[in-house]
Structure 1
Amino acid sequence: MLFTSGHIFVVERGRKYKDFSLFLTTWREISSQFITMRDIMTIQMIYEALILCMFVNPSYQTDVGQADTERVFYYRQVDYPRDCQKLRELCTNPGDLRNGVYVIQPEGLTEPFEVFCDQTTDGGGWTVIQRRIDGSIDFDRNTTYYKDGFGFLNREFWLGNKYLPYLTKGEQVELRIEERRNGSNFANFSYQDFQISDENDRFRLKKLGMFQNNGGSKTDEMSSQVYSEFKTSSESNCRNSSKGGWWFDETDCNKANLNDDFYRNLTRNGLLPYFEMKVRPFNRQ
């Protein structure tokens, strides 16, 4: 299967694709098209999703002869799932889903995009919007980078402010934040009604909801940042004490900033941090 412009890929009926190379070779033979590296990455993601979760419905093509009808299936995927939770809901066996990169398209967006889905933590269905693990990606960037996103979805990244309004509007969305140091669980906490405004309102932190400490000794440091615009440190009053972009509480620059300088401000007592921010619809768990 391939999500082409028509969302159609022809597969020989009964043929089993036991590895990706065979799947890709078959697609090349059928399509007779030049395939770019990005195409290969997309095809691989779709292949893996098919192996793990057959959420498409097979249907016969009706405008071909009987012989051809007997030989092929046409698979159609009309819409992309709007988030990682919807992907899970569409799966026949959601327990078989693995953590990894998938393609989603939230309501209102004209184009789909890639995200990292956490399908194992607390029931799965999480769309990861940020991860810090080793300081390999510089988070001290300008507003354009933060708008479009940067980094690598399988490693360190910021998903992109332009996607956050679409992931957090229309229904109550939970924000979960995990913090570990040197591999051990340090803190796990959540906010039950996370919402980000659009670019016209400077990606403001509109809502957070109730704070819940699920483990560790973490206290609520973000509620005072509600209504704050998303700014880079160079734009804010916190430029002398913080780096990166965040919803700064400019009256208290010591509040949370998970995009701060990795080694100078986030590493404590020699313990390297691991941060991950992820969202999931609160009422569709």
Structure 2
Amino acid sequence: MIVLLCLSAVFPVLMGTEVVNSNCFLATDCSDVYSSDKTSSGVYTVSSIDGPVQIYCDMIPSGENHSKGHWTVILRRMDGEVNFFRPWDSYKRGFGNKEGEHWLGLEFLHLLTRRNRYKLRVDLEDFDGTKAYAVYESFSVDSEADGYKLHVSGFVDGGAGDSLSYQNGMKFTTFDKDQDLWKNNCALQHNMGGFWFKDCDHTCPTGLYLWGKEDDSVHFGPHWHHWKKNWKSLKAITMKITRVM
């Protein structure tokens, strides 16, 4: 069911050439879902100009000053269940299981961040159960015509270090669409997953899931280099955004 937000006042909504009175509007992200008194974490259906979209909402407060909760999850790795070695169109539209591993979709991310201001939080966990996070106070994604270019700034350290700023300003690369600065294709020959690569990366959450079975020299797995200054595959990594009011 699509989440509707209903207001006490009546607002005119322009639809084509007709003006229709409505006291409700469609939710577009987890901040809207939370505002509609749906405060439990889980999968919800929201709207976009391309139609209904399922998203996972993490409603749990983060425990620090960077959000009260209602995060929209844009990427989650946790068990290797989903194959992230996918072409451009898959990353554009999104894929995976919203209850588990998934990528939300570049086009939806662009539409969200074009409309409102967002911050990004990245949560990490290694195979020993140790956790850390990083926050970026500003996060946005350009249009497909601009290569879905990444913009992040305002890093706040939660113990993870800053592994994403190196890739700020980069276009998105997949194995069938090379937009990185490396002489070869980072997604095809380095990480086996699409992401915003430079030459190539300090982090790649979409890399080949390795269940911790590798040494420090292997860069294939989902990694965040500045946490422990190594390239070991992480057990879990989640990227999620929340609207800046």
- TM-score band w.r.t. shorter chain: 0.7 to 0.9
> 2:170 aligned to 228, 240, 245, which one?
228
Structure 2 unaligned residues grouped into runs of 5+: 9-21, 63-67, 211-219, 224-229
User: Which runs of 5 or more structure 1 residues have no equivalent in the other structure?
Assistant: 1-41, 59-75
In the TM superposition, 1:168-187 aligns within 5 A as 168-182=113-127, 184-187=129-132
For residues 51-66 of structure 1, the aligned pairs below 5 Å read: 56=6
Q: Is it true that 1:210 corresponds to 2:154 in the alignment?
A: yes
Kindly tell me: are residues 220 and 80 of structure 1, through their superposed partners in 2, closer, same or farther at Cα, counting changes over 3 Å?
A: same
Moved more, 110-119 or 132-141: 110-119
2:5–2:24 Cα contact (<8 Å) kept: no
Determine which structure has more spread, i.e. the larger CA radius of gyration.
Answer: 1
CA distance in 2, matches of 1:183, 1:84: 31
Letter of the 1:188 counterpart: Y
Q: Who is 1:121 aligned against?
A: 61
Q: Does the CA contact (< 8 Å) of 1:191 and 1:208 recur in 2?
A: yes
2:24 partner SS: coil
Output the TM-score relative to the length of structure 2.
0.74
Other-structure match for 2:86 = 141
The change in CA–CA distance for 1:82 and 1:224 in structure 2 (over 3 A counts) is: same
State how 1:13-24 maps to structure 2 within 5 Å: none
Which fold has the larger relative contact order, with Cα–Cα distance below 8 Å and residues 6 or more apart in sequence? Answer: 2
CA shift, 1:120, in A, is: 0.9
**Counterpart in the other structure of 2:206:** 259
User: Retained in 1: the 8 A contact 2:221–2:234?
Assistant: no
Per-residue deviation at 1:144? 0.9
Pairing partner for 1:112 from 27, 46, 52 = 52
Structure 1 contact 80–112 (Cα < 8 Å) conserved: no
Q: Is 2:118 aligned against 1:162?
A: no
Aligned to 1:277: 239
Q: Alignment partner of 1:98: what SS?
A: coil
Compute the displacement of 1:136 (Å): 1.0
| TM-fit CA distance, 1:183 | 7.3
* CA distance in structure 1 between the partners assigned to 2:173 and 2:148 by the alignment: 9
RMSD between superposed Cα atoms in Å: 2.7
| TM-superposed deviation, 1:56 | 5.0
The structure in which a higher percent of residues are strand is 2
Q: Runs ≥4 in structure 1, deviation > 4 angstroms?
A: 54-58, 267-272
* Percent sequence identity over aligned pairs: 28
1:200 aligns with 2:145: yes
| Change over 3 Å in CA distance of 1:56–1:185 after alignment to 2 | farther
Amino acid paired to 2:154: M
Counterpart residue type for residue 224 of structure 1: Y
Letter in 1 for 2:222: L
**1:172–1:192 contact (8 Å) kept in structure 2:** no
Other structure's SS at 1:212 match: strand
TM-score w.r.t. structure 1 length? Answer: 0.64
1:24-52 Cα shifts (integer Å, max 9, x gaps) = xxxxxxxxxxxxxxxxxx4xxx6xx7xxx
